[in-house]
Amino acid sequence: MFKFLFDRDTWQEVFDSFNKNKLRSILTMVGVWWGILLLIGLLGSARGLENSFNRLFGDFATNSVFIWSQNTSKPFKGFQEGRRVRLSLTDAQKVEENVNGIEFVVPRNQNQATVVRNFLSGTFSLGGDYPLLDKVEKKKLIHGRFINQSDISDRKKVVVLSEDVYKQIFEKDEKAIGQYIQINNINFKVIGVFEVSNISMGPRIDMHIPFTTFQQIYNTGDQIGWMTITGKPGYDIVQIEKDAKLLLKNLNDVNPNDNTALRSANAAKEIGRVTGFLTGMQFLTWFVGVATLIAGVFAIGNILLITVRERTKEIGVRRALGATPFEIKRQIVVEAVFLTLIAGLFGIISGGWILIGLDAAFGQGDDAVIVNASVSIAVVFIALLLLVILGTLIGLIPAFKATSIKPIEALREE
């Protein structure tokens, strides 16, 4: 059935037709080339943005919510509005025990602290944290370790520094692990240095010390600054957020309709906005690319209609010599698919070079905007298949036009 594809005469006729109208054919193919170029370039860029986004959130528990307290805006149970709500360790424990779908709750505290080492000093944010924090917001440790349970139990004076703090109070390439620094005039042993993340859903913390040590230094007792709640897989973190805030309002005598006493930041919501944007961008890319492809393929159909009109006498001669309508149609369709595929292959190659250029320009380093901009083999295959289908369909228009002319009328054409 497909023997004609390997027939030398078939391809000789295709190339002869192309050579007769070389400039016109090339200009027509530009539409298909541009459509594939847009499709590959935009899809690859969207994938690069998605990779960059995934790298930012790769070590972050996306099903998390952060809840902190503020002043009340409505009176309730004898309390006047404007009262400061104080969250506690007991509140965190109650939330973990009574709200369905919670994997764990991490109580946290924060304060500003002055750090001094030798003649170097600075003011940074200090967090009192539990080892569980490393599961919610994985720390990329450059050296050492994070806080462990032994540090909590023994109220050890140990600290994990951010890379920014290390650079300010240590000399370049100086070993920090095991060294002592002063935090608010108290000696702390450095046990780790971590890389600062490009994204954080909660307050920025430059130094982490054991939660119990923070309690002791600042005499916070049972109070906490805020809590991070992580939901189990399959549970709706938005519902967990609502349930947790309602429980906390009940525990702290806050009006259920008071929307300012307890504030929250839902990581899933923020991430959902970004993923929604990326999904929309991919849909728009396919729409624009396919629409441009269709326009380009129609241009090829138009040029073939002109070619058929110019070859009317030739087609008449072939019909008179015994060529069947099917053979005429087949030849026209082959020419359409050939032009479409050649333009498409050039578009794929051009799109690939563009993605390589984007990766070289914007995909290097820790702050890369587009990471590994690329398209999968499946996308390339779908694009080529789409080209074959469109080329075949559009080729049928001039093909039927070519066979609609009676041989005797075609032979009379001047």
Rounded CA gap, 92 and 227, in Å? Answer: 7
Higher pLDDT, 21 or 195: 195
Rounded CA gap, 308 and 172, in Å? Answer: 75
Higher pLDDT, 294 or 197: 294
- Residue 197 has what DSSP assignment? P
Rounded CA gap, 324 and 358, in Å? Answer: 51
Nearest by Cα to 213 from 158, 138, 278: 158
- Residue 50 has what DSSP assignment? H
Nearest by Cα to 47 from 403, 385, 358: 358
Place of tokens 């995909």: 363
Whole-number average pLDDT of the chain: 81
Q: Is the pLDDT of residue 409 over 70?
A: no
Token couple for 217: 């230094």
pLDDT one-digit tens code per residue, 347-394: 888 888 888 888 887 777 666 667 778 888 887 888 778 777 877 777
Per-residue exposure over 226-239, b if at least 16 CB sit within 10 Å of its own CB, e if not: bbbbbbeeeeebee
- The DSSP result for 331-345, as a single string, is HHHHHHHHHHHHHHH
Q: Is the pLDDT of residue 67 over 70?
A: yes
SS3 363: coil
Torsion of CA 52, 53, 56, 59, to 10 degrees: -120
Rounded CA gap, 226 and 215, in Å? Answer: 14
- The answer to whether 87 and 69 are in contact (CB under 8 A) is yes
The predicted pLDDT at position 149 comes to 94
pLDDT one-digit tens code per residue, 244-290: 999 999 999 999 999 899 998 887 776 667 777 777 877 887 787 77
Least confident of 142-151, 159-168, 315-324: 315-324
User: What percentage of the chain exceeds 70 in pLDDT?
Assistant: 78
Rounded CA gap, 284 and 281, in Å? Answer: 5
Q: Is the pLDDT of residue 229 over 50?
A: yes
The stretches of 58-111 forming alpha helices (DSSP H) are: 89-98
Q: What is the mean pLDDT of residues 181-185?
A: 93
Least confident of 98-112, 125-139, 246-260: 125-139
In sequence order, the β-bridge partners of residue 189 are: 158, 180
The predicted pLDDT at position 1 comes to 43
Nearest by Cα to 393 from 314, 326, 329, 346: 329
Q: Is the pLDDT of residue 411 over 60?
A: no
First to last CA, the chain: 35
- The answer to whether 310 and 402 are in contact (CB under 8 A) is no
Rounded CA gap, 124 and 169, in Å? Answer: 11
Could you tell me which residues come within 8 angstroms of residue 1 by beta carbon, excluding any fewer than 6 positions away?
A: none
Domain residue ranges of the chain, discontinuous segments joined by +:
3-57+272-412, 64-267
